[in-house]
Structure 1
Amino acid sequence: MKKVCLLLPNGFEAVEASVFTDVLGWNKEEGDGSTELVTVGTREKLRCTFGFTVLPDLLLSEVKADDFDALALPGGFETAGFYEDAYREDVLELIRAFDAQGKVIASICVGALVLGKSGVLQGRLATTYNLNDRHRQKQLAEMGVNVLPDRPIVIDKNIITSYNPSTAFEVAFTLLEFLTSKENADQVRRLMGFLE
């Protein structure tokens, strides 16, 4: 069984987290059955960007990278306190530990800024939110990242980044492909209506 840590800082964007729960859940029920997702929060009770509350399975203080095969990280909004939580040292240290072990890390939208802040993207290829004068992409570049501004999804070795919420499902399917196979991921895509 491949275990995925869905890391949820306060202020995360719900749709960007839900794609991981759905794609990996569909795989568990209808695909090859080999994935399990665990929600890991920075707090006991998390408030999403647009207001509803989520109770994670575990707290960040209760986990380590050794317990998982991959890390998934949604983005969030500054006004909802996302960066305040996501830039905490314990969050950054967990990301560094996943990367040091060569485990897959999948982020959506500004989740890449958290990876950049941790240092794991230093000198590597990535992308992040691409609209509003590319402000977030400029921030990522200032962290020493080689930003590919017009690529919806960028994969550099074990790290997947993407440029806005529209890419969310494809990032989750790409993570599933990394963990299982292209054939299995395509089967789940078909069952969910993304392929004919």
Structure 2
Amino acid sequence: MHSVALLVFPGFQSLALAVATAFEYANLVNGEPAYDFVLVSETGGGVPSSQGFAVHTEPWSDRVFDTLIVSGDNDCRMPSAATIDYVRASADQSRRIASICTGAFVLAEAGVLDGKKATTHWFHARAFQKRYPQVQLDEDRIFVTDGQVWTSAGMSAGLDLALAVVERDLGRDVALSVARKLVIYQRRGGGQSQFSTLLELDARSDRVQTALAYVKENLASDLSVEVLADAARLSPRQFSRVFKEETGQSPAKAVERLRVEAARLMMETSHHPLEVIARETGFGDRERMRQSFLRAFGQSPQAMHRVSAVRV
């Protein structure tokens, strides 16, 4: 049986508790207990959450768990030095150590993420990078695995990480069955983006906003720099410069990301074959779409399409 502990400390983000349900239902779906799940803290007893209510915990008492998951809080505050020491020791003894949201700060403070790939909530990504430059942070991923170390983005992404753990331990069929039980539309892969590309492309000027609106409405059309510059009433050279200054991306990169996002949405909300999705979103063919998906999500559209085809 796999022993799994969720480590909490005063002020922990209460949504972290949702991961417990993934392991609870994994036991039910599996037909026999596969996980022994427990909440732990430094001293045991009641630990107040970010919402004020307290949860009962057991003291870790130097226990070694197969999987230790470290919760985060809303303000990136560090737990006690003893907690940091326990996390550091667990990284050497547990088969897997993970974090939810800003729990990545705790792992980094303990040195667990040194030289590792990791993620955290996008809102705190800049502060994390400044504080822990030795960590290879990917702020635009749902969750990241690097060897025995697993980190997830904020809020509901912890549940995606838990489902991925179940899939690794018990297989894809069990994980998908758990997702159905939890009424989750799709078990998201770790490579998916944390937030919308249009939200990220926060253009200031009306001309760049007009160009972005044109892209969204004409994904299947020619979206060269010349075409977009004409829509923005600027020369191609001037448009490229202004677009990069305002969005931080080249027009070509932004168009690719918007097309990828639109294609992923079509996979999640329709039964169209990949050839049709590639054509409707402007990729033209499956191979060009595949290359773009690999760059954006780290997995092919075929792999994501298989998961998206599962309705719950």
Give the TM-score band, short-chain normalised. 0.7 to 0.9
Specify whether residues 72 and 193 from structure 1 end up closer, same or farther in structure 2 by C-alpha distance, changes over 3 A only: same
Residue 147 of structure 1: CA displacement?
0.7
Residue 121 of structure 1: CA displacement?
0.6
Greater RCO structure (CA 8 Å; 6+ sep): 1
Specify whether residues 148 and 154 from structure 1 end up closer, same or farther in structure 2 by C-alpha distance, changes over 3 A only: same
How does the TM-score come out when normalised to structure 2?
Answer: 0.55
Q: Percent identity?
A: 26
3-state SS of paired residue (1:55): strand
In structure 1, what is the equivalent of residue 46 of structure 2? Answer: 45
Specify whether residues 20 and 140 from structure 1 end up closer, same or farther in structure 2 by C-alpha distance, changes over 3 A only: farther
6-15 or 23-32, which deviates more? 23-32
Specify whether residues 71 and 48 from structure 1 end up closer, same or farther in structure 2 by C-alpha distance, changes over 3 A only: same
Residue 115 of structure 1: CA displacement?
0.4
Does residue 72 of structure 2 align to residue 75 of structure 1? yes
Does residue 146 of structure 2 align to residue 156 of structure 1? yes
Q: Please identify runs of 4+ aligned residues in structure 1 that moved more than 6 A.
A: none
Structure 1 CA distance, aligned partners of 2:94 and 2:59?
A: 23
In structure 1, what is the equivalent of residue 98 of structure 2? Answer: 106
In structure 2, what is the equivalent of residue 189 of structure 1? Answer: 179
CA root-mean-square deviation:
2.0
3-state SS of paired residue (1:37): strand
Residue 119 of structure 1: CA displacement?
0.4
172-181 or 121-130, which deviates more? 172-181
3-state SS of paired residue (1:27): helix
Structure 1 CA distance, aligned partners of 2:62 and 2:38?
A: 10
- Could you report, residue by residue, the CA deviation over 1:50-80 in whole angstroms, capped at 9, with x for unpaired residues? 1111111x113x2422xx21111221123xx
- Is this contact kept in 2: 1:2–1:34, CA < 8 A? yes
How does the TM-score come out when normalised to structure 1?
Answer: 0.84
- Would you tell me which structure has more helix in proportion to its own residues? 2
Matches within 5 A, 1:6-85: 6-16=6-16, 18-32=17-31, 33-43=33-43, 44-56=45-57, 58-60=58-60, 62-65=61-64, 68-78=65-75, 83-85=77-79
- Could you report, residue by residue, the CA deviation over 1:125-183 in whole angstroms, capped at 9, with x for unpaired residues? 00112126x333324533x1011121221111111112211312101112222332223
3-state SS of paired residue (2:158): helix
Structure 2: stretches of 5+ with no match in the other structure = 187-310
- Would you tell me which structure has more strand in proportion to its own residues? 1
- Could you report, residue by residue, the CA deviation over 1:69-110 in whole angstroms, capped at 9, with x for unpaired residues? 1111221123xxx7342xx23222222233213511121110
Matches within 5 A, 1:134-153: 134-139=125-130, 141-142=132-133, 144-153=134-143
122-131 or 160-169, which deviates more? 160-169
Structure 1 CA distance, aligned partners of 2:110 and 2:39?
A: 20
Number of residue pairs matched by the alignment: 184
- Is this contact kept in 1: 2:116–2:135, CA < 8 A? yes
User: Which of these residues, 69, 74, 82, is aligned with residue 90 of structure 1?
Assistant: 82
- Is this contact kept in 2: 1:28–1:35, CA < 8 A? yes
Structure 1: stretches of 5+ with no match in the other structure = none
Does residue 110 of structure 2 align to residue 118 of structure 1? yes
One-letter code aligned to 1:191: K
One-letter code aligned to 1:71: L
24-33 or 113-122, which deviates more? 24-33
3-state SS of paired residue (1:105): strand
